Structures are given as structure tokens and as C-alpha cells.
Amino acid sequence: MHQFTFTELWATMGIFARTIAFVLFFMSLASLLVMFERIFVFLVNSSASRAFATRVGAILSRGDLQAAANEKLDGKKIGHLGRVIQAGLQAFTVAGTAHKDVAVDSVARALERQSQREVQSFKRGLGILATVGSTAPFVGLLGTVMGIINAFQSMAETGSGGLGTVSAGISEALITTAFGLLVAIPAVMAYNFLQGWVDARGVDMAEASNEFLDLVARKHGGHAQAAPPPAS
């Protein structure tokens, strides 16, 4: 039985099938770039957030919000958690000696706004993974359908029947579906993993925001209302 190699299949593929293969290649390349870029960003942010928690957490644990606010913090090097708390510290400094409810509400809104910004920043590029994961199989299927149509047209033109006469065309058609699945599966897996990471960091920021609000409330001699979690 004759075995079709990839080289033979590529040589027999028509212009449309090759176009589909190139489209899938660029979709795969885009998803890989997003995947590795997001993983790098997430790792850097996690490391920076842990460093911030070690540095400023000890100050906040003493309830010294003013000392924490006076710390010189670089927003690019303190991670997502540091930027959220920094926004709360800035709001606390601006509120100054304002009424307790006013100060707490101002800080809560600042924490929520920054948390939402961080979540949206983390989601950057995930739409590409979702798009590739959902459309790549259909792009491959389009190539398969057109390949099968061409195969049966060739069979009609030659006037011969049987699967053997169109086996090359069928193989060419099915290979595009295989390409589509090979592109889609890693993209879907990466999207689910990265989206889960974003959701977990959203919970972390909500918990940190609520703990910070408790400190602000105690500073003003009251109780804070829990900040809502950032939109996922």
C-alpha cells in the first residue's frame, strides 16, 4: 500500500489548500507569540508582587500607612499587587483628615479602579488565543471541504470511480483539518490556563484590597466595607 509522505502531500496540494495551510501557520505563530509573551509578563508580575509584599507588607502590618505611602515605589517594578496598593495609598494620602466614610470610599474606589486596570492588562492578547482556538478547526475544515470537492471533480472528469483514484485528493483534503486541530488545541489549552491565572490574580487583588481597607478603617476608627472584586 502506498504511503503518502508530507512532502508528497504538499507537492500535490492545490493553491487553495496551500493558502489554508499558510493561514493556519500564521495563526499558530500568533498564538505562540501571545502565549509566551503572556507567560513572561505573568511570571514577572508575580515575582515583583511577592517582592513588594515582602518589602511593604511588614510596614502595613504595623498599621503605619503614612510610612508605606512615603516609600518610593516604581510602578513598573512592584507588580500588579503593588500597583493596586499604591493606588490605595495615594488615595489615602489625598483624603488626609477627611471624614472616615469619605476617606474609606475614596480608597475603595481607587483600589477597585486599579484592580480593573490590572485585570484588563492581563487579558491583553487572550482574545487572539480564543479566536485561534475557536476558528482554526473551521479554517482547516474549509480546506478539507474544498479538497474533497476537487477530488470528486477530478474523479468525474476522468470518468473512473473508486477510492483509489481519489485517495491523494482525500489525503490532501484531510491534512488541512489535521493542521487546524494542531493549531487549535494548544491555543485552547493556553487560553484556559492563562484565563485561570488572571481569575486567580483577580481574587488576590480583591483580598489585598479588602485587607488594606480594613487598615484604613482602623486608622480612621471605623470598619470598612469590602471592596468588590475586579471584573473578570
Q: Is residue 40 part of a domain?
A: yes
Q: Is residue 112 part of a domain?
A: yes
**How many structural domains is the chain composed of?**
1
Query: Between 225 and 6, whose confidence is greater?
Result: 6
Q: Is residue 231 part of a domain?
A: no
Q: What is the pLDDT of residues 45-72, one digit of tens each?
A: 999 998 888 888 788 878 777 788 777 7
Q: Is residue 200 part of a domain?
A: yes
Residue 224 is predicted with a pLDDT of 46
Q: Flag whether pLDDT at 22 surpasses 80.
A: yes
For residue 21, what are the domain limits? Answer: 6-219
Q: Is residue 232 part of a domain?
A: no
Spatial separation of the C-alpha atoms in residues 103 and 109, rounded to whole Å: 10
**Average pLDDT of the segment spanning 96-100:** 66
Q: Is residue 227 part of a domain?
A: no
Residue 223 is predicted with a pLDDT of 45
Spatial separation of the C-alpha atoms in residues 188 and 21, rounded to whole Å: 19
DSSP per-residue letters across the chain: -----HHHHHHH--HHHHHHHHHHHHHHHHHHHHHHHHHHHHHHHHHHHHHHHHHHHHHHHTT-HHHHHHS---TTTSHHHHHHHHHHHHHHHHHTT--HHHHHHHHHHHHHHHHHHHHHHHTTTHHHHHHHHHHHHHHHHHHHHHHHHHHHHHHHHHT--SGGGGHHHHHHHHHHHHHHHHHHHHHHHHHHHHHHHHHHHHHHHHHHHHHHHHHHHHHTTS-PPPPPPPP-
State pTM to two decimals.
0.79
C-alpha cell at 176: 488541512
Q: What is the pLDDT of residues 146-203, one digit of tens each?
A: 878 877 777 777 665 555 656 666 777 788 888 899 999 999 999 999 999 999 999 9
Q: Is residue 195 part of a domain?
A: yes
Residue 1 pLDDT level (bands cut at 50, 70, 90): very low
Q: Is residue 75 part of a domain?
A: yes
